[in-house]
Amino acid sequence: MGDELNNSLSALKKVGGWEKPTIFDLNSSEDAEGLKSLIESGKVIRISDNIDEAVEELYHIENPAQIDNLDQAAFDRYKFSLGGGDLRRYGQWVFYPWNGTLVHFLNADDLRRLRGSRNRNLITEEERQALIDNKTILILGLSVGSNAVDSLLMQGIGSKYILVDMDSLAPTNLNRIRAAYDQVGIHKVDVVAKKISELDPFLTQVHYKEGLNDENMQQILSEHKPDIIIDEMDSLHLKLVVRLRAKELGVPVIMATDDGDNILLDIERFDQDKSQPILHGIMPQEVIDSILANNQMSRQEMGAIIGKYFVNLENVPVRMLESLLQVGKTLPSWPQLGGAAVLSGLYLAYAAKKIILNQPLNSGRFLMGPEQQLNPELNAEAYKARKTELIKLMSGEVN
């Protein structure tokens, strides 16, 4: 490769991380002048303005009987009421600095009504308001946790997202994080933050790119006061510490642990009962004490403990048991499938929705997934025998 091409490649702008989008309201002369200057600067590379289609859909939400028979005169009056004859002045214009795109949005409440319109009446209008109004969700770990954010966003759950992770996106993350390859090397917080802002730029975000630690945990929990904690961290030490603190504060913790094609959903309703033991009391106190005293554990040690106590070895399929025994030997880490990550996001969002709406949802552990319904191999004697053998081997590694 010639020096000239090398220099050309080096001069290109690299894919950037998240920056706070700039929001312009053209009813403000200051904002209008600011947007004009931005366009003249050449920073705006492309524009997306589909406000006419969005306004028409908004009108049909309010006038569903006209979906196939539009009253054009009434619709024209409706449009005029929004923009005074000029829809460019309705809503907000949002500039995304990482890709140079300028997007014309509805205002915040209309945007959320429109995004959630096809959820009705599975989610009523009153419930939609309750799900978004002053609700803070803390997401710890943004590999599987990113799938939770995706599902939360689609259902309009949460008005403030606290994103916590310490890692950048790696190629091996792309089997369970919805991101393009050009995002590799970008911090996971930035990857997720971009998706949030591009879907709803009016949502509040707080970022902790150093991850969770014993020093910032107090600040995160006391300053931001999350309504729900979603725990998808790898660190067993922090999993225990955050639950002990959440129990004191009465904050529910939900966690999905992938298990081959299945997941195990943990729901701990510390908001209903602060006296319940962390992790449902399934982990012996001596194991808890050992983890709390040892902040550094190998992947092999963590995999063994997760298999026995977080998932329960009886719930683990044979291929997953075989894989856990190979962590640190022929495998660098425990395997995780994209389908299980998506399933995790789905159930975490469901649990969050039920908790916020004060609908019945008990603490407990719930095995979810296709294996029991679709895999006939589970009932074969050879499969059962192999599983028993592997559980004995795994139990020996944990003990």
Which of 250, 242, 245, 244 is CA-nearest to residue 274? Answer: 250
Question: Is pLDDT of 1 > 70?
Answer: no
Architecture of the domain delimited by 125-398: 3-Layer(aba) Sandwich (3.40)
The structural domains of the chain, with segments of one domain joined by +, span 15-115, 125-398
Q: What are the Cα distances from residue 148, in Å, to 109, 269, 309, 367? A: 23, 18, 23, 17
Q: What angle do CA 376, 382, 385 make, to 5 degrees?
A: 115
Report pLDDT for 6. Answer: 80
The mean pLDDT of 155-159, rounded to a whole number, is 94
Q: Which tokens sit at 253? A: 């913790």
Give tens-digit pLDDT for 59-69.
Answer: 999 999 998 89
Count CA atoms within 13 Å of residue 398 on its CB side: 24
pLDDT surpasses 60 at 399: no
- Between these two residues, 313 and 385, which has the higher pLDDT value? 385
- Look at residue 42 in the predicted model and tell me its pLDDT: 95
Report the range of poorest mean pLDDT among 34-43, 227-236, 327-336.
327-336
Mean pLDDT of the chain: 91
Query: Would you say residue 205 has pLDDT above 90?
Result: yes
Residues 6+ apart with CB under 8 A from 144: 176, 232, 256, 258, 336, 341, 344, 345
How many residues can be counted in the chain? 399
Q: Taking every pair of C-alpha atoms in the chain, what is the biggest distance, in angstroms?
A: 76
- Percentage of the chain modeled with pLDDT above 70: 99
Q: For residue range 65-120, list pLDDT tens digits in order.
A: 998 899 999 999 999 999 888 999 999 999 999 999 999 999 999 999 999 888 88
pLDDT class for 398, splitting at 50, 70, 90? low
pLDDT for 32: 96
For the chain, the distance separating the N- and C-terminal CA atoms, rounded to the nearest angstrom, is 55
Amino acid in the structure at residue 389: E
pLDDT at residue number 272: 96
Q: What is the pLDDT of residues 365-380, one digit of tens each?
A: 999 999 888 999 988 9
Contacts of 262 (CB under 8 A, 6+ apart): 315, 317, 340, 343, 367, 368, 369, 370, 371, 372
Q: Is the pLDDT higher at 394 or at 110? A: 110
